[in-house]
Structure 1
Amino acid sequence: MSKTIRLIYPQWQGGIISHWIPELKPEDSSRGYYIGAKLLSILAPQNDNHKTLEVPVSLDIKNREIKNGIMDYDFIISQTKNALDILNKNNPDKIITFGGECSVSVVPFTYLNKKYDNDAALIWIDAHPDITLPEDNTYAGYHAMAVSSCMGNVDKEISSILTSKISADKILFVGLRDWERDEIKKRQEEYSIPHFAPQEASSENIIKWLKKCNASKVLIHFDLDVLEPNEIIAAVGVSPNGMKINEVIKIINDIAKEKDIVGFTIAEHMPRVEIMLKNMMEDLDLFK
């Protein structure tokens, strides 16, 4: 039996998102991914054969600063090392990751890519392609650099920590509909990474690509902002014309019938209501 671990990776530092969530205090929205990762882990069906581990993540928010083009750079370096140390000590065959912002996929996916000798395809189910670079000087959130990091196209120190690089010809974007900047769309074209917009994202199209890719293992990143906001708002992003929940479920289940999914991440949950409830209870004298 293959060894599967569940990795709770509540990294929030990669996001610069408080201005998009005015209903919450900046410190609460900024760290909202921390609570989101914990909730995803709690809500997931339990499996006694899976070992659950957690990456230690700092909650210090006093001195956020951009270094080397990346917000909270030193924290991200430290937590990247923490995550990799957990994986090296436990040597899993499969990893289910609960995030946190999108960059939580970087360590597990590059770890598994090395473990399987570059025989892994990466399917990135997301409204955004996450191929920003630190030198773009437009947005310093590391979560927007997650695919760039998986490819090794990021800060030199981070790249030196990661165990492998995933080739562009083994990456597919699914549900992509918001490039945010023209340079990102152009970069995707330069990398020759294909994508299926939500209306094109069928199991048939994706499996056809997988067969052409010819990798035996699959890594799947599921950013909740890929979902249609009229059906559910579970993330920060609310780009219209997204995918339906049942469409994403079908795609992932159909992939599992064809290929061995060794890495799966669900990320970017922003639990607005739960944060409000938490603050409400903190204001009650009964709890003090």
Structure 2
Amino acid sequence: MTVERSKLRLYFPQWQGATYDNLMACVPELSREEVTTGYHLGSQLVKMMFPKGDGKEVEVPVSLDTKDVATEKGIYARSALLKQHKAAFEVLRQNNPSHILVMGGECSTSVAPFGYLTKKYENDVACVWIDAHPDINLPFDDYTGFHAMALAHILGMGDEEFLREMPGKLAVDKALVVGLRSMEPKAKERQPEIGLKSLSPEEYRANPTSVLEFVKGTGARKVMVHLDLDVLEPTELVCAVGRDADGMRIAEVAGLINTLAAEFDMVGLTIAEHMPIVELKLRSMLSQLPTF
């Protein structure tokens, strides 16, 4: 299948996928409004720092209403998330890109673009999900944050209304989680049930070529890569809510992504879950000073 090359830099500052309680445990000294919109500020910084490219840049509209976070049908802030999910698909339909860089936002910013790319390339695309967590929670699990359900929805599991918007469903044997080291009980039970493969940081380190071997084994010539910054070793860099020990090193992650880009046609790349703790505290302090 020949697809005209059209790059899109998708700025998607979505923050509603993480629950208030989850974030407050990370920065308890800040107000609810300051903490819950932390991923919005994080995505702004990702956008500012990411190297410039030649792709068209489009922003997905995201609400900053911190009161629109009711848990409905087992999903925190479901109403706002569904509206933004639909808006992201509308942006993708209008632009019809062949390659997408997603500057997020929390992990669920990958749901719409990866669903779009899965349909566009049918059976010719695989997914490498670089994350400390598998993100295969489902509605009504103990944790109701949609960012923990992102990969599940890409694989066709989850909320029916979200799934109706998804143009494509990725086969589970075409997805690999790399850097996995933290799982909730239900996700731990679900992973072997659905057949989702994964590598811990130690397993990846012992056999770095295993990711390339996996993608080649799927038969796909194209790859989508999701990078959750909580996969990183916190003694090297803390820029996310998750701070589990024994993570992947910066050089390992950058090397893996560049190797995948060299070996396959990387049609999707998401940078997700930047929670800028220092900047949030600084912004809070600055807000208390005279404005002149």
Does residue 141 in structure 1 map to residue 145 in structure 2?
yes
SS in structure 2 of the partner of residue 135 of structure 1? coil
> Does the 8 Å CA contact 2:110/2:226 hold for their aligned counterparts?
yes
Alignment correspondent of 1:178: 182
1:127 deviation in Å?
0.3
Matches within 5 A, 1:118-267: 118-136=123-141, 138-181=142-185, 183-201=186-204, 202-267=207-272
Superposed CA deviations along residues 229-284 of structure 1, whole A, max 9, x for unmatched, are 00010000001000000000111111111111100001000011111222222222
> Does the 8 Å CA contact 2:47/2:103 hold for their aligned counterparts?
yes
CA distance in 1, matches of 2:156, 2:229: 24
CA distance in 2, matches of 1:77, 1:265: 19
| AA at the equivalent of 2:150 | A
Alignment correspondent of 1:23: 29
> Does the 8 Å CA contact 1:225/1:234 hold for their aligned counterparts?
yes
> Does the 8 Å CA contact 1:8/1:54 hold for their aligned counterparts?
yes
> Does the 8 Å CA contact 2:73/2:139 hold for their aligned counterparts?
yes
Alignment correspondent of 1:42: 48
Alignment correspondent of 1:271: 276
CA distance in 1, matches of 2:23, 2:192: 31
1:135 deviation in Å?
3.1
TM-score, length of structure 2 as denominator length? 0.94
1:18 deviation in Å?
2.5
SS in structure 1 of the partner of residue 137 of structure 2? coil
CA distance in 1, matches of 2:123, 2:288: 51
1:152 deviation in Å?
1.4
* Structure 1 unaligned spans of 5+: none
Identity of aligned residues (%): 45
TM-score, length of structure 1 as denominator length? 0.96
CA distance in 2, matches of 1:162, 1:192: 21
1:63 deviation in Å?
4.3
| AA at the equivalent of 1:27 | E
* Structure 2 unaligned spans of 5+: none
CA distance in 2, matches of 1:236, 1:249: 20
SS in structure 2 of the partner of residue 71 of structure 1? coil
Superposed CA deviations along residues 200-221 of structure 1, whole A, max 9, x for unmatched, are 2254110111111111110000
| AA at the equivalent of 2:35 | S
Alignment correspondent of 2:117: 112
SS in structure 1 of the partner of residue 30 of structure 2? coil
> Does the 8 Å CA contact 2:75/2:140 hold for their aligned counterparts?
no
CA distance in 2, matches of 1:4, 1:176: 30
- Greater Cα shift, 26-35 or 221-230: 26-35
Count of residues paired in the alignment: 284
Superposed CA deviations along residues 23-44 of structure 1, whole A, max 9, x for unmatched, are 3222211110011111101100
> Does the 8 Å CA contact 1:105/1:221 hold for their aligned counterparts?
yes
1:45 deviation in Å?
0.7
> Does the 8 Å CA contact 1:203/1:254 hold for their aligned counterparts?
no
